[in-house]
Structure 1
Amino acid sequence: MVYYFTSNVVAPSASIYVGKDKFENEDLIKHGLESDVWFHVDNLSSAHVYLRLRDGETWDNIPKEVLEDCAQLTKANSIEGNKKDNITVIYTPWANLLKNASMATGQVSFHNQKMVKKIHVPVRLNPIVNRLNKTRVERFPDLQAEKEEILKKKRKEERRAKDEKKAAEKKERQEREQLKWQKEHAYDDLFSEENMQQSNNQDRDADFLDDFM
């Protein structure tokens, strides 16, 4: 089971999800996405909380209000952390999570410790936790199938964007070539007209100018 929450402090809203237990966390670790950011109470047992980044968002430019929602939700889902003040919540991109066979169920480490940020949480803020809990939905997703479908859609969008870029570049190249041709042949008609006039003058009688005068 996975719990899904909606953070409405931004528009469009942000999606947050939490594994029910450590076994569920294993699946979340395995089937996360590049657009997921992982949250956990530092040095204490807690749920694994994930934020799914919105389009154009990166893990290091998450709105402050969304970070606070994630931190409060993480604290609230830690048995020990929920009782304490002045705790620290850490977060990092899903891709930075390190998991190997020697680790206990639900346990993770990091590929790069420098890509782990911290949030200080002085106290539990019930208005935030209550607001988020009102949006909670319980689901039993096939995480692997869901990930494959999302990646398939992403690849399709990337191919479409690549084709559009390729078509735009082709159009731009053709326009440049057309403009170049026009510049190179801008005086073709003029030269042709002058040549015709010269040819016509050469065909006239020698007395033409005298007759004109």
Structure 2
Amino acid sequence: MVFYFTCQSRPDLAQKYIIYMGRDKFENEALIHNGWPEDLWFHVDDLSSAHVYLRLPRGETFESVPEEVVEECASLVKANSIKGCKMSETKIVYTPWENLKKTADMVVGQIGYHNHKRCKYICVKKNADIVKKIEKTRSEDLSPDLQAERLARDAEVLAEQKAAAKKEAEEQKLFKLKCEQEKYAKSYDRLFDDEPARTTNQESENDSDDFM
């Protein structure tokens, strides 16, 4: 089971960003294995906490997420950390899902990073207002098939890529044909093909004799 939230810090973005949060280490593990390339992962730095995933719209980058949305996710992580929620200020780490590293020796729910340079950090203070707003959007406990959702997402992306590749191939074919037509139209032989036939002086004289 996981919880779903929608961002509340920006009314215009409420339906644009969806937040996933595991209730325990087993749900966190499921989210780790079935995350999307569009996900941003949030966690309290150096402390245990819930794993929060912000699902970005396709095409949006790590750097383009509004600060208000980042702060909202960070505040949610802090509020769902046994130790972090008691601290006046907490350091939160966030990074793209694809930067998470899971090795065989790690316990359930534990992860590392492929590249620490791709991690960002934000310090958040207790903010009951932000947490209260987002908690109002908390879904009931749901049991989605995370693997099926990921497979459906991948199938959709693959279909879009194939359609784009087909369109590009057709455009290249038409462009090549156009270039060949233009080349032919400008060629030396083509210029002469368009000219009327001319007679030689000898042919003219012969023609004249015939008429005499």
Q: Indicate whether the TM-score tops 0.5.
A: yes
User: TM-score if structure 2 supplies the norm length?
Assistant: 0.86
Within 5 Å, which residues of 2 pair with 1:1-213? 1-7=1-7, 9=10, 10-11=12-13, 13-121=16-124, 123-138=125-140, 139-184=142-187, 187-191=191-195, 193=196, 195-196=197-198, 201=204, 204-205=207-208
Are residues 190 and 30 of structure 1, via their aligned partners in 2, closer, same or farther at CA, if it must alter by over 3 Å?
A: closer
CA distance in 2, matches of 1:107, 1:159: 36
Q: Which amino acid aligns with 1:167?
A: E
Q: Which amino acid aligns with 1:205?
A: S
CA distance in 2, matches of 1:197, 1:81: 100
Deviation at 1:156, TM superposition (A): 1.1
Q: Which amino acid aligns with 2:134?
A: L
What are the ranges of 5 or more consecutive residues in structure 2 without an aligned counterpart?
A: none
Q: Which amino acid aligns with 1:45?
A: S
Q: Percent identity?
A: 43
Deviation at 1:160, TM superposition (A): 1.0
Deviation at 1:190, TM superposition (A): 4.3
What are the ranges of 5 or more consecutive residues in structure 1 without an aligned counterpart?
A: 209-213
8 Å contact from structure 2 (residues 34, 147) kept in 1: yes
Q: Which amino acid aligns with 1:21?
A: D
CA distance in 2, matches of 1:176, 1:20: 61
Deviation at 1:202, TM superposition (A): 5.6
CA distance in 2, matches of 1:63, 1:170: 42
CA distance in 2, matches of 1:89, 1:152: 33
Q: Helix, strand or coil: the match of 2:98?
A: helix
CA distance in 2, matches of 1:202, 1:38: 94
Q: Which amino acid aligns with 2:3?
A: Y
CA distance in 1, matches of 2:144, 2:35: 13
Counterpart of 1:211 in structure 2 is none
Deviation at 1:93, TM superposition (A): 1.4
> How big is each residue's C-alpha offset from its partner over 1:155-188, in whole Å with a ceiling of 9 and x where there is no partner?
1111111111111111111111111111115523
CA distance in 2, matches of 1:28, 1:202: 96
Q: Which amino acid aligns with 2:118?
A: M
CA distance in 2, matches of 1:13, 1:130: 19
Instruction: Provide the aligned length of Structure 1 versus Structure 2.
Output: 205
8 Å contact from structure 2 (residues 44, 93) kept in 1: yes
Tell me the C-alpha RMSD between the 2 structures. 2.4
Q: Helix, strand or coil: the match of 1:205?
A: helix
CA distance in 2, matches of 1:87, 1:198: 98
